[in-house]
Amino acid sequence: MSKTEQPRIPVLDALSQHFKENAHMALRNKQLRHNMRTAMDSLITKRLVSMPDENERESLRELGNHVRARALSKLPELLEKLEANLTKRGVQVHWAETTEEANQIIFDIAKRRQAKLFIKGKSMVSEELNMNHFLKKQGIEALESDMGEYIIQLDYERPSHIIMPAIHKNAKQVGHLFENKLQTPYTDDVDTLIQTGRKVLRNKFFEADIGISGVNFAVAETGSLFLVENEGNGRMSTTVPPVHIAITGIEKVVENLRDTVPLVSLLTRSALGQAITTYVNLISGPRKANELDGPEEVHLVLLDNGRTQAFADAQLRQTLNCIRCGACMNHCPVYTRIGGQAYGTVYPGPIGKIISPHLMGLDKTEDLPIASTLCGACGEVCPVKIPIPELLRRLRKEDVRPPEEPLHYVKGQGARFSRKERTMWNIWKSMNTKPNLYRKFSYLATRLRFMTPNILAWSQNHSKAKPASYTLHELAKKHLGDKK
């Protein structure tokens, strides 16, 4: 890295849930602020250009929502069908309730194959498992092959965006990183940098014992794993090593192949403004006896990790519609300013604020639901119409619900419960339901405006907020009289 390094969220803190502290640090990083703004503006434009017709865009979103909602409405049934069809094709299906279980399943496969090197395509679920770290402790190296992920792995960081894990870095920063870590001459030419990275990774595909990937859509009807990518590394990781392990959350299942058409169209357009990705992979089993290519074994690990909790509640279930395009982040004014690492969770941005509480519990993510102005930009662009602001409000409710109250929809309910705050809202309620009290309060607030308390957090960025010297109630009464 360059000498003039900006404040940076420590590597280990990228999963620390210190949202406020991390955000504070990120805001002071001018380079990050600049990179994020430029990158997000470009993605916002590209999305619009790729879906210029508003009616068509909205119809497609509606369709995407229907497809996802239908899949979720039959989730248990579709998962069973998926397992049956995959098994028929020779794919070994594993179920993991927790991240520990998933890691153990993966490790058991590795042990059996005496694996020492994993090569990975992109997989957010593997981040959820903290898999690289787990494998490292077992003496197994897991090398990222997605260029963005490779860059951040070199820099001991975590992904800051679902689709573009290194979006917070620019070419200059990557140039210095490669210079230091790969001992290549400094350049900020993007093509040269990518070639450098590719050269390093090329042989690893052949050396690796196991290839890891995520899944974009698991198709129940055909037993196929649908995977989109632009770099070809996904195809290499899933076909070259003798074993391929795909990892996915249980919600990624869709009913049939046809359902993937609108979803992939929405995914690539919403994420990058692309009509389609360079590579679209449909994996339907290991290499057959008469085939030359492909792995000997294919595994699918289906992970729950809190997803059934979201599934159990009709409103919260909508969280699981997500197809991981990242459009909500690209449009979020909060994410744009602090970047993904500040969230201290695997999934950052608006979608992370509603997924993470299910995965980790509200007690570990208590600040996330309130880290939004509810401006609605995320909901407006979500390709499958997840009502993110509505779900944020719902989680806020669970966040302040008394922990002893019997309804526990989300793990860690009542993380932000405070008797004092509740009392304050009860006073506010009385004031606004008892007109005489309200009028007395507003009269006093305006007449005693010089005594308005100074809210420190507000006055950091604003002059002191002072009430007017009279109320509208008074003006209206004087002008309109007592007419009802």
Which residues, 398 to 457, sit near another protein by CB under 8 A?
Answer: 398-401, 422, 425-426, 428-429, 431-433, 435, 438-439, 442, 445-446, 455, 457
Minimum CB distance to another protein, residue 373 (Å): 3
Rg of the chain taking only CA atoms, in angstroms: 25
195 binds another protein (CB under 8 A): no
Contacts of 274 (CB under 8 A, 6+ apart): 46, 50, 230, 268
**Torsion angles phi and psi, residue 300, rounded to 5:** -125, 125
Which C-beta is closer to another protein: that of 19 or that of 118? 19
By CB under 8 A, residue 89 contacts another protein? no
Residues pairing with 302 in the sheet: 95, 248
Q: CB of 395 within 8 A of CB of 369?
A: yes
Pattern of binders to another protein over 31-60, x per CB under 8 A?
--x--------------------xxxxxxx
User: Given candidates 183, 203, 290, 463, which one binds another protein under the rule CB under 8 A?
Assistant: 463
Nearest residue (CB) to another protein, 112 versus 447: 447
The residue (of 288 and 478) whose beta carbon lies closer to another protein is 478
Give the whole-angstrom CA distance, residue 35 versus residue 169: 7
Q: CB pairs under 8 A, 24+ apart, for 86-92?
A: 86/223, 86/285, 86/300, 87/223, 88/223, 89/223, 89/284, 89/285, 90/285, 90/286, 90/298, 91/223, 91/225, 91/284, 91/285, 91/286, 91/298, 91/299, 91/300, 92/297, 92/298, 92/299, 92/300
Q: Map residue 102 onto helix, strand or coil.
A: helix
Cα 136 from chain centre: 24
Closest distance to another protein from the beta carbon of 29 (Å):
11
**Quick one: 360 exposed, middle or buried, by C-beta within 10 A (0-12, 13-18, 19+)?**
buried
Of 26, 31, 28, 30, the residue nearest 10 (C-alpha): 26
The residue among 94 and 317 lying less far from another protein, judged by its C-beta, is 317
Q: What residues from 246 to 265 belong to the interface with another protein (CB under 8 A)? A: 258-259, 261-262
What are the structure tokens assigned to 238, written together? Answer: 């899933």
Whose Cβ is closer to another protein: residue 70's or residue 88's? 70
Bridge-based pairing state of the strands 224-229 and 217-219: antiparallel
Q: Is 156 in the site for another protein (CB under 8 A)?
A: no
Interacting residue with another protein among 245, 371, 384, 388 (CB under 8 A): 371
Q: How far apart are CA 284 and CA 210, in angstroms?
A: 17
Residues 108-137 close enough to bind another protein by CB under 8 A: none
Distance in Å, CB of 482 to another protein, minimum: 8
Please report whether residue 396 would count as binding another protein according to CB under 8 A: yes
State which residue, 98 or 418, has the beta carbon closest to another protein.
418
Of 67, 49, 48, the residue nearest 380 (C-alpha): 48
Residue 323 near residue 264 (C-beta atoms within 8 A): no
User: Quick one: 65 or 237, whose CB is closer to another protein?
Assistant: 65
- Binding mask 306-345 toward another protein (x if CB under 8 A, else -) reads ---------------------------xx--xx-------
Comparing CB distances to another protein, the nearer of 84 and 465 is 465
Q: How far is the CB of 454 from another protein (least distance, A)?
A: 12
Least distance to another protein, CB of residue 118, Å:
37
Residue selected from 319, 345, 372, 413 as contacting another protein according to rule CB under 8 A: 372
Q: How many residues bind another protein (CB under 8 A)?
A: 85
Q: Of 91-99, 122-130, 286-294, 388-396, which segment contacts another protein by CB under 8 A?
A: 388-396
* CB closer to another protein, 51 vs 208: 51
Does residue 202 bind another protein (CB under 8 A)? no
Cα distances from 24 to residues 29, 39, 320, 334, 417, in angstroms, run 9, 21, 30, 12, 24
- State the Cα–Cα distance between residues 38 and 168, nearest whole angstrom: 10
Q: Which is nearer to another protein, 223 or 339 (CB)?
A: 339
Q: Which of 397, 408, 440, 447 binds another protein (CB under 8 A)?
A: 397
